[in-house]
């Protein structure tokens, strides 16, 4: 008889038989269990926050009949929008996390706001802390695209120059690291064909400067930086035809564009073992 195992008649009171969990074909032992069962672990919860623009918010019109496969409306019929729901890459990432870690509860707070500049996002971060006082395990923070866009739209009072953008981002990071265990600064995606090519090139040249400032701020304040710009641009350069576009209007993303962001985020989380480290 091997050490640590017992014949049935030898098991002392309060003990249980050694157990083996066999897997594979043919089955091979991967772990031995012996002794009293351990106490059940309390369910774990990871609280995740998203602060950013419409790229994170991504609203979608909802009608219950539109999502019930057994009761879809007839083609050509009309339905009433009953509510707005958050979809896009943040929604899909939430589903992906819950599927990959079914024993973990992910409490997701999406504070993305369409049209928000860094000035607006800074106000959202401030209000969230003052109102809710939420302690976050993981925060994704991204802004800048509207700071640049407003300038090219001629809405100068709403535009945010690079110096002010850096100040807002630095302040948000400094505040968030007081109650967030891990912060990931997400770069903005480039502009697509929203204006004439020369104007779009100028817009992206300016937006790239904001992303560089975001990367520097993240490094200075112990946050991680998730580059969406380069992989998004690489995919866009190889796409052809209307079915391959990453933008719905040159700024907001299609499902394909959201998929690029989703895959990059999943890869980033896995590469840095972020969920595993948060679970301790």
pLDDT tens-digit readout, 56-112: 998 777 777 777 788 888 888 888 887 767 789 999 999 999 999 999 999 999 999
Q: What is the structure's pLDDT at 190?
A: 97
Measured CA to CA, the distance from residue 235 to residue 18 in angstroms comes to 53
Global pTM reads 0.81
Q: What is the structure's pLDDT at 143?
A: 98
CA angle 31, 35, 41 (to 5 degrees): 75
Q: What are the structural domain ranges in the chain?
A: 44-68+79-279
Highest CATH level, class, for 44-68+79-279: alpha beta
Q: Do 127 and 49 meet the contact criterion of CB atoms below 8 Å apart? A: no
Cis bond before residue 26 (omega within 30° of 0):
yes
> DSSP assignment, residue 41?
P
Hey, which residues does 32 pair with through a beta bridge?
A: 20
Q: Which helix (H) or strand (E) holds 146?
A: helix 145-152
- Extract the residue ranges of the chain whose pLDDT is less than 50: 1-24, 30
CA proximity to 230, closest of 211, 255, 214? 211
């Amino acid at each position: 008889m091997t050490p640590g195992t017992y014949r049935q008649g030898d098991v002392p009171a309060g003990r249980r038989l050694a157990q083996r969990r066999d897997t594979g074909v043919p089955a091979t032992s991967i772990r031995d269990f012996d002794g009293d069962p351990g106490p059940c672990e309390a369910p774990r919860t990871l609280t995740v926050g998203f602060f950013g623009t419409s790229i994170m918010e991504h609203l979608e019109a909802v009608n219950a009949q539109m999502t019930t496969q057994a009761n879809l409306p007839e083609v050509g019929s009309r339905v009433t929008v009953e509510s707005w729901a958050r979809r896009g890459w943040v929604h899909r990432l939430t589903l992906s996390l819950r599927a990959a870690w079914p024993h973990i509860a992910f409490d997701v707070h999406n504070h993305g706001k369409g049209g928000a500049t860094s000035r607006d996002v800074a106000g959202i971060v401030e209000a969230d802390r003052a109102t809710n006082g939420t302690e976050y395990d993981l925060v994704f923070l991204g802004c800048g695209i509207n700071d640049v866009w407003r300038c090219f739209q001629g809405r100068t009072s709403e535009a945010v120059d690079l110096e002010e953008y850096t100040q807002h981002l630095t302040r948000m990071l400094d505040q968030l690291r007081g109650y967030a265990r891990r912060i990931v600064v997400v770069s903005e995606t480039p502009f697509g064909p929203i204006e004439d090519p020369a104007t779009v090139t100028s817009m992206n040249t300016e937006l790239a400067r904001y992303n560089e400032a975001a990367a520097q701020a993240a490094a200075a304040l112990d946050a991680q930086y998730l580059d969406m710009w380069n992989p998004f641009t690489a995919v866009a350069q190889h796409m052809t035809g209307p079915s391959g576009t990453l933008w719905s209007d040159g700024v907001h993303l299609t499902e394909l564009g959201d998929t690029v962001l989703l895959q990059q985020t999943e890869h980033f989380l896995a590469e840095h073992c972020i969920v595993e480290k948060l679970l301790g």
